[in-house]
Amino acid sequence: MNLDPSAVPPVLRLEPIGERRYAVQNEGDATTRNVVFGGQLLAQTIMAAAAHSPDKTVKTISIIFARSGRVDAPTEIDVETFHSGRTFASHTISAWQGDRLCSRALVLTHAHEPDLITHQSDMPVLAPAHGEPVSDNAAFPGAEYVIADGVDLIDSSAPIGPAELAVWYRSPQTPDHPLVNQAVLAWGTDGFLIGTAMRPHAGVGYDRAHLDLSTGVIGHTLTFHRPFSMRDWVLMSHESPFAGGGRSYGRCHIHDTTGTLVASYVQDNMIREMPAGMEHKRM
């Protein structure tokens, strides 16, 4: 898939520094929170896989976030291809900061094939996005999202609700290219399932994260189903069926405005009390 390198957003650009190793840019403000957002590494991992499978698109990425990365430290992406065929290719992709391994992913890419059978989960009946769009580190730089029904995930004193969350997400200024669309969507999948798990529990919210609660994404698996454009809204329908033992599990289906199921993902998270004086180490 041809993509003009100059049209690629800076945070998605890969600078070759070896045969299969790239330097990448970090996004964020090290003076406010010096931790690389997991969505950034998801997006950059997709770009790296595509660079080594130019005739294919990403089907599934499964990533483990082992250690946090620092915004003010150089980040490098390493790619090892362990299979490449006509229909499928598989890569192991690791993110490093010096000798510190931050994440490791298995990425399956594939070539398009026609439908033999087809079905999908229906899109929830929900009003189109309304409310003031938000642009923060949960969204790709320049992208925006709206949480349906005005749900407040930040304030731990907010009303409780079911372990469900609907989020509208789009990035109208990024190139409408299949690879960029995948990377931009992947970025936005990282940040909401912890909050979804917190919703049923009084006194728990993102405002306590990294203060007296230690939270972070541990494992994340994202599968793409159909082509889509991030220039229009997609609906991310989250649910968390389980939380306990300092962990939570969540899943999400993503539909575009035509009702097409375009992607799905599952996530394992850490949500536990932080001992007094302990520095937060997770993403």
Which is more confidently placed, 125 or 85? Answer: 85
Residue 3 has a pLDDT of 75
pLDDT in tens, 199-256: 999 999 999 988 899 999 999 999 999 999 999 999 999 999 999 999 999 999 999 9
Q: Calculate mean pLDDT across residues 7-32.
A: 95
Residue 70 has a pLDDT of 97
* Residue 22 banded pLDDT, cuts 50, 70, 90: very high
Q: 180: helix, coil or strand?
A: helix
Q: Do domains 10-112 and 132-283 have the same CATH topology?
A: yes
Residue 127 has a pLDDT of 77
Q: Give the CA radius of gyration of the chain.
A: 18
Amino acid code (one letter) for 159: P
φ and ψ of 163, to 5 deg: -80, 60
Judge: domain 10-112, CATH 3.40.640.10: no
Q: Calculate mean pLDDT across residues 252-271.
A: 97
pLDDT in tens, 36-79: 999 999 999 999 999 999 999 999 999 999 999 999 999 999 99
Instruction: Please say if the pLDDT value at position 25 is more than 70.
Output: yes
φ and ψ of 252, to 5 deg: -155, 140
Residue among 130, 62, 67, 122 at smallest CA distance from 99: 67
Query: How many Cβ atoms sit within 10 Å of the Cβ of residue 4?
Result: 8
Instruction: Please say if the pLDDT value at position 192 is more than 90.
Output: yes
Q: Is the dihedral of CA 211, 161, 141, 266 positive or negative?
A: positive
The full set of domain ranges for the chain reads 10-112, 132-283
Q: Which residue has tokens 């609660």?
A: 213
DSSP 107-128: EEEE-----SS---PPPP--PP
Q: Which pair of tokens denotes residue 25?
A: 């840019």
CATH class of 132-283: alpha beta
Provide the angle, in degrees to the nearest 10, between the axes of the packed helices 178-188 and 38-51: 160
Return d(Cα 144, Cα 132) in angstroms, integer.
Answer: 9
pLDDT in tens, 125-178: 887 788 889 999 999 999 999 999 999 999 999 999 999 999 999 999 999 999
Q: Which pair of tokens denotes residue 68?
A: 């946090």
- Geometric angle at alpha carbon 78, from 25 and 218, rounded to 5°: 80
